[in-house]
Amino acid sequence: MNVQPSDLDDDGDYAESLLIEHRELSGTFPTYLSNSTLVSIWTFFELSAVRLCHIDLERRGTAAGTSREQIAKQHARVFGYGQVADYRDKNGLQDKASPESQEITNIQLVRNCIAHGNGKVASIKKPADLRAYVEAQEQAGVKSLSIIGDYLVVLNEYCEYALKTCHSFLTMQLHGIPSRSV
């Protein structure tokens, strides 16, 4: 809310108008902050994943002239989502996904709800999957992620969890890349 001079009451109570604006902002700002933090974490994760794929392809001797499509396929193979996840879904193999890969997929669901649906659960491609994930988190006693009405609420603690999970996953994948040949 942006207070304009015309918004002031007859006696020009500007302080009261500022107080109202402060109350409205303080109620929504933490949500914006958590959401933008999670989206930033995911952006960094994806950039790091692509870099690891480039390193992996380079060390296996296939980086020169590698197309974006080849990088995307490598990215999906190494990180267990994207095209590989689609293959698993089509062939009934989703239960064979590693727990780490599944958790990255869940964090991606949360990120997609924020980035593409502005937090509205019904606006994403797999709302049932997101609802199931949030419910499982709540049953496990995790209070940093919830759905109120049809809107996803992400708290700072979930951002910390997502950061640690992404870091662990990238570290795990890094160990699978061949050593540099001398």
17, two tokens: 């108008």
pTM check: above 0.95: no
- Answer yes or no: is 5 within a domain: no
d(CA 12, CA 70): 64
What's the domain count of the chain? 1
- Residue 179 falls inside a structural domain: no
Q: Establish if 63 belongs to a structural domain.
A: yes
Q: How many Å apart are CA 69 and CA 111, to the nearest integer?
A: 23
* pLDDT tens per residue, range 126-152: 899 999 999 999 898 888 898 988 989
Does the residue 11 lie in any domain? Answer: no
Report if residue 46 sits inside a domain. yes
CA angle 100, 38, 154 (to 5 degrees): 95
Q: Is 144 helix (H, G, I), strand (E, B) or coil?
A: coil
Contact 121, 110 (CB under 8 A): no
Residues in the chain where the model's pLDDT stays below 70: 1-30, 60-98, 176-178, 180-182
